[in-house]
Structure 1
């Protein structure tokens, strides 16, 4: 391409084809211009806009950006800086960032407002994505890029440093004009700035979402005669502060109104609050233009890999549901020793170095030494996050330093008891997560890492990082940092803890998004994939497993919506219909839950193993249901193999059972309020359904040596076996899977083997096509032996049930389709009992300037 063709094409991108013809018509012949137009059209045609990932976009929005052109300079410079990424990862980044920009509006459009949302994973490369979008936007004529980077200085500074290194420094003079730097947030620039407005530079601002900063920014932009330039506003952590926060949300909305040509793109890993914004409010931040779901990058450690997740309806067969064995349990009865419990208890609190905390600290220095043996001399970090309040963080400094000093002295003095304990700890941990699980990793013996242990103990330091401290975690020096970081909010929400190996985390949270964002252990662990460990309570482990399921379900739903070509306004409603989203709140605001159970099957998984009254209540509820149905004269279909079907049971009997049956609190999609409200709504439709139910008793033949459960009405069945997942029991006994796929049609005329040969979708269609079953619900009850033993093949991963009584498992199968547009309002999150003092630090950061920048 000759020089004039490049200039012409650049003009076309910025101002449109008609403007380019007029501008160049006085200097060039029509034949030259026609040739350049043909060249432009050839380039555009050669770049696919339909490449992955898929995107939900507003109807009628035509993608305009064809991809990087040969004469562009900012994107190529940024791309060349990504030497740490594989060529395949860079190619995927190129594709996704082009797709994002293509679904904004072209900068030459006379008037526009793009409002998009990019959904990634926690610590998965979202910063790299929006940096690439900024580079490409600047290449095609966006003259102002504003990055709203969280609410804390740590994240803002980290983002500023990244953009400085990957955008400003790489593109050279004349490409970018930054108005913020690493040391200082946005302040009104000098008046001489007006001289830069006519140049080819793109203005770059990285600002916190904090009241005073945004006030300064709005004031300056209003007076700087910049409101007519094409502006790109990137909202990092777009669900934090931007949504429903009275101090910040109006300022961001006012910022968007300043520019007649503006693209606003939110980035978040936790989109719950964003998709629950009311799309009917015109100037709100609902992503009405597009929603893009970034795929999980190769080599990424997310919630699913660490905690596993539950099976989801409609996913592909053989999905990997179990995470790596990287989580260690902190007993509930020790929490009061490591985190003050109750309002005001933090005053005078002194943390105890419990056995679990001592093990996590010792393992951190061992793992860091193992990395050194592998030739990895980069940063190594441990996170200690036990609470939000700064007084708690400060209380940890002395005990941690004392522990490290004593450990260093013991290692230096070759204390045999200490070395034996360290060897045992290392051997146990490397046995539970062997290096052989990960390609290219060699195991490290205790003797090999011992060579590096004394120097690691010399390097390690305790850093207390919170919004009041000046002793911040800083990786900008020339030497690798080995740090135990103690903190709260400043060590969450987008901030990358470089080389994070160990997390000691017992901080509670009351919302999905807050809890997920505090998980700094998600990310990339190249070269030490076998070493990350997390110490937390069993309840928190269960919470994160549930959140991994929430993430997977939202992404699966979005994929379905993409296939149906639904717009973001439609998907906003549809995401709310998912039952697992019934407990989401943003900054204490109430949220309404919806549910649709059409075509779904839901089942119990968790039980209270030792709670005899809890178990007895469920046995009695099952017996009352069966006895009542038989007394009403329902048809009893006894198949002689332990399966008994009660046909055409009245819905009133089923609702009474659901009101009595105890569901474990970790089964939100079986919340009786949601299920009964859905059934009631279906009963009241113009063509009602679920007025009658089939009840299937899924036992075994009552042999002489079998446990027997008496369901009443003359029905006595043997129990079935469901052993527990290893490491569970007590108040959270986990059987993982209650029902098999073929049980979905156990009340229909199809054999179990034939049903197993069909897909879930085919079984849904089979039920819906049956006149007899299309409007009938199916309730399944499983009498589970209190002493169920694992099968020999599962002896390594399963343990026996040791329940105080026999257990009744319950499953529900609903007719209809998963995409039925039947959405029902059910419950609101009750935040009346929230201890608002837990939010003091975040509110302080939103309201007041940070000490570093004031």
Structure 2
């Protein structure tokens, strides 16, 4: 077959150029044909870029750390199985997969490896070993397989010898056992690829922040075990895969897992992630449930919540329509109501009783049937909003009694009654109930309906990892619904922008060392942190782009920037002067001074305000972050307005953009407080000459103040600080975007 390689991005600067060999050819061929065929050209191109930034197999020794960032449920496993095939073709003898922190996640990854590498059939490409130990039954076989691989590498074998794949549970004890086993092997000259799946979980040092503050060098158990594993490998590359890289990017620069290079993965055309669910189709696909449906163990619910019943009905009608259309694929529903396992049993009981009750009612006829159908009628109308050629109501209802018998309702948790290993081929229809085990990494096949009335997580990466409903669902996206609390819905809406900002920053930096990239994250104000603070090894500061007023700190930098902003501000004033009124129209504003007035223009379209802000130039990273945070929040308000969001903006031209009389201001004072206070200070009533810059603010609009300052600081040679344009922004209460920036 012919394998097409997509053009490499300019500036990729691979350390070396991997070649495509027989293993990769066979792997690509298996994925590119038959049912569910995938266009592998982009996947292969990206795998080549990742491997090309690993230690070259020809190097005598060394190590590197590469970060790979995908979307949630977007095909990261396919990327690292492609990467593994490519590595084996290019002389890597061992691939080690740190495959999740739970046995079900590890089993899921192993099953995928077996399928992708054809390990359930006789073949000469791979040998798979699970949780290696020095005294384990597989250790002699590992020794023999490594010896055979070396023989083939050295040209002394008559036939090809397989590369080794070692899967290890990401648990300190298991990883230490694997490290001890590898130390017993002669791995000199053997290139090893380590793949850390869900690398932001468990692997980072959870004592990093404490170390930074105290000067200590303590290590958490799993982090220490991974260090031992790497120490046993003279020649290795450590590749971190994750959809939420905040923890990886905030490791200390001296941290052994601090990535040297980052690659952002593309998603395929059929991928439906945050943009699909929370931007393009949020009003169609996301249903808000009352906060009262949140399960509180201290005051538990006594009956199945209405949102759960609605979600279950929509799911049943959806699988009934799939059955009617002859679609023989998995269809699933997920219920994530609480992290504790005790409520899971309650939800399972409720769901089983609902299914039994509805089945009896539909089959019984009469008033009982009519009563049951009332709820289903509303669910049918909900599904009909998005599904074309939906079967008739009576047709779908007639199928539900049979389908309720085929539906597997299981718990996915650590309890005795839970399903430990879901075999998706054993049944078409599943309903999964769980908590933490459904939070991260777990793939739910054919997921259409999610009921998750949980409050938002404190950290952004935790919330995003709950989005199991993302995935390659374009073929049946019209059947999908997500039932969330309003705060969770809003958090997901905002996080989409936050995620895209981070990915865009990483993409712009591709091909360059991560050591020179200043970390910055835009984050909605309701999140406590980008990630858990315990693993943050860098000094980062939180900034806020609202709460009354925010302003940049470095608008004086660069003569070209000052001139461009001065022209921009003057052009806006000239264009709007005929609409401008005295700034004392604002309810708290008082100005009895002589001279140039503060002029205000209200009722400006938010789109126009956003366009203006995007034209302001900044000469410092922190000012750029402020502009980005403001712009992203405005874009969200424009795209998905909420009841209390501003509907327009106001522009205020302080002193008509003239430089205020007087000697000027010190830069340090401007940075600390740009806004001039009341004059005289503390005055009341008629004694107030000027109420202060802060009062020139619209209470229900986004307010943008524009001014021109004279700085008393000495400028660099050839520049002048006589006229420095500056701006400040005020959002109405409750609307904010924060950002974290490395200091």
TM over 0.5: yes
Preserved CA contact (<8 Å) 1:78 1:167: no
Task: Specify whether residues 110 and 227 from structure 1 end up closer, same or farther in structure 2 by C-alpha distance, changes over 3 A only.
Answer: closer
In the alignment, the residues of structure 1 paired with residue 487 and residue 736 of structure 2 have an alpha-carbon distance, to the nearest angstrom, of 24
Correspondent of 1:197 among 127, 131, 146: 146
Task: Specify whether residues 538 and 460 from structure 1 end up closer, same or farther in structure 2 by C-alpha distance, changes over 3 A only.
Answer: same
Q: Determine whether 1:285 maps to 2:234.
A: no
Q: What does the per-residue CA deviation read over 1:628-686, in whole Å, with 9 as the maximum and x for residues that have no partner?
A: xx36767315478889xxxxxxxxxxxxxxxxxxx9xx99x99xxxxxxxxxxxx9868
Look up the match of 1:524: 472
Q: Determine whether 1:381 maps to 2:353.
A: no
Q: Report the Cα offset of residue 235 of structure 1.
A: 0.3
Look up the match of 1:471: 418
Q: Report the Cα offset of residue 110 of structure 1.
A: 0.5
Q: Determine whether 1:216 maps to 2:177.
A: yes
Q: Report the Cα offset of residue 719 of structure 1.
A: 8.5
Q: What does the per-residue CA deviation read over 1:414-454, in whole Å, with 9 as the maximum and x for residues that have no partner?
A: 412212331232113322x344xxxxxx4444234334322
Task: Specify whether residues 777 and 404 from structure 1 end up closer, same or farther in structure 2 by C-alpha distance, changes over 3 A only.
Answer: same
In the alignment, the residues of structure 1 paired with residue 438 and residue 463 of structure 2 have an alpha-carbon distance, to the nearest angstrom, of 13
**Structure-to-structure mapping, 1:133-532, within 5 angstroms:** 133-169=83-119, 172-180=122-130, 187=136, 189-199=138-148, 200-226=161-187, 228-245=189-206, 246-281=220-255, 284-288=256-260, 290-308=261-279, 323-335=282-294, 339-341=295-297, 345=298, 349=300, 352-414=303-365, 415-431=369-385, 433-435=386-388, 442-469=389-416, 471-472=418-419, 474-476=421-423, 478-508=425-455, 509-532=457-480
Preserved CA contact (<8 Å) 2:462 2:531: no
Preserved CA contact (<8 Å) 2:251 2:536: no
Q: What does the per-residue CA deviation read over 1:724-782, in whole Å, with 9 as the maximum and x for residues that have no partner?
A: xxxxxxxxxxxxxx58xxx79x779xxxxxxxxxxxxxxxxxxxxx9889744323569
Correspondent of 1:585 among 525, 531, 539: 531
SS at match of 2:418: coil
Q: Report the Cα offset of residue 185 of structure 1.
A: 14
TM-score, with length taken from structure 1: 0.62
Preserved CA contact (<8 Å) 1:276 1:576: no
Q: Report the Cα offset of residue 254 of structure 1.
A: 1.6
Task: Specify whether residues 221 and 555 from structure 1 end up closer, same or farther in structure 2 by C-alpha distance, changes over 3 A only.
Answer: same
Look up the match of 1:8: none
In the alignment, the residues of structure 1 paired with residue 239 and residue 228 of structure 2 have an alpha-carbon distance, to the nearest angstrom, of 15
Task: Specify whether residues 114 and 80 from structure 1 end up closer, same or farther in structure 2 by C-alpha distance, changes over 3 A only.
Answer: same
Correspondent of 1:553 among 501, 525, 537: 501
Task: Specify whether residues 143 and 640 from structure 1 end up closer, same or farther in structure 2 by C-alpha distance, changes over 3 A only.
Answer: closer
Look up the match of 1:730: none
In the alignment, the residues of structure 1 paired with residue 325 and residue 302 of structure 2 have an alpha-carbon distance, to the nearest angstrom, of 34
Preserved CA contact (<8 Å) 2:675 2:693: no
In the alignment, the residues of structure 2 paired with residue 150 and residue 425 of structure 1 have an alpha-carbon distance, to the nearest angstrom, of 37
In the alignment, the residues of structure 2 paired with residue 518 and residue 185 of structure 1 have an alpha-carbon distance, to the nearest angstrom, of 37
Preserved CA contact (<8 Å) 1:351 1:395: no
- Structure 2: gaps of 5 or more residues: 149-160, 207-219, 544-551, 556-560, 566-582, 605-629, 638-664, 678-689, 709-718
Task: Specify whether residues 162 and 274 from structure 1 end up closer, same or farther in structure 2 by C-alpha distance, changes over 3 A only.
Answer: same
In the alignment, the residues of structure 1 paired with residue 735 and residue 349 of structure 2 have an alpha-carbon distance, to the nearest angstrom, of 51
- Aligned alpha-carbon RMSD (Å): 4.4
Look up the match of 2:616: none
Task: Specify whether residues 478 and 493 from structure 1 end up closer, same or farther in structure 2 by C-alpha distance, changes over 3 A only.
Answer: closer
Q: Report the Cα offset of residue 527 of structure 1.
A: 2.8
TM-score, with length taken from structure 2: 0.71
Q: Report the Cα offset of residue 239 of structure 1.
A: 0.2
Q: Report the Cα offset of residue 479 of structure 1.
A: 3.7
Q: Determine whether 1:51 maps to 2:51.
A: no
Preserved CA contact (<8 Å) 2:446 2:473: yes
Task: Specify whether residues 569 and 461 from structure 1 end up closer, same or farther in structure 2 by C-alpha distance, changes over 3 A only.
Answer: same
Q: Report the Cα offset of residue 715 of structure 1.
A: 14
Q: Report the Cα offset of residue 461 of structure 1.
A: 2.5
Task: Specify whether residues 809 and 209 from structure 1 end up closer, same or farther in structure 2 by C-alpha distance, changes over 3 A only.
Answer: closer
Preserved CA contact (<8 Å) 1:503 1:521: yes
In the alignment, the residues of structure 1 paired with residue 309 and residue 421 of structure 2 have an alpha-carbon distance, to the nearest angstrom, of 25
Q: What does the per-residue CA deviation read over 1:257-299, in whole Å, with 9 as the maximum and x for residues that have no partner?
A: 2111101101000000000001223xx21111x1001123212
Q: Report the Cα offset of residue 576 of structure 1.
A: 5.3
SS at match of 1:101: helix
Correspondent of 1:538 among 476, 486, 489: 486
In the alignment, the residues of structure 1 paired with residue 65 and residue 720 of structure 2 have an alpha-carbon distance, to the nearest angstrom, of 46
Task: Specify whether residues 550 and 52 from structure 1 end up closer, same or farther in structure 2 by C-alpha distance, changes over 3 A only.
Answer: farther
In the alignment, the residues of structure 1 paired with residue 463 and residue 43 of structure 2 have an alpha-carbon distance, to the nearest angstrom, of 28
Preserved CA contact (<8 Å) 1:63 1:103: yes
Task: Specify whether residues 231 and 304 from structure 1 end up closer, same or farther in structure 2 by C-alpha distance, changes over 3 A only.
Answer: same
- Structure 1: gaps of 5 or more residues: 1-42, 309-320, 436-441, 602-618, 644-662, 671-682, 696-710, 723-737, 749-769, 783-806, 813-817, 826-854
Correspondent of 1:62 among 2, 12, 15: 15
Task: Specify whether residues 641 and 305 from structure 1 end up closer, same or farther in structure 2 by C-alpha distance, changes over 3 A only.
Answer: closer
SS at match of 1:463: strand
Task: Specify whether residues 56 and 543 from structure 1 end up closer, same or farther in structure 2 by C-alpha distance, changes over 3 A only.
Answer: farther
Task: Specify whether residues 444 and 466 from structure 1 end up closer, same or farther in structure 2 by C-alpha distance, changes over 3 A only.
Answer: same
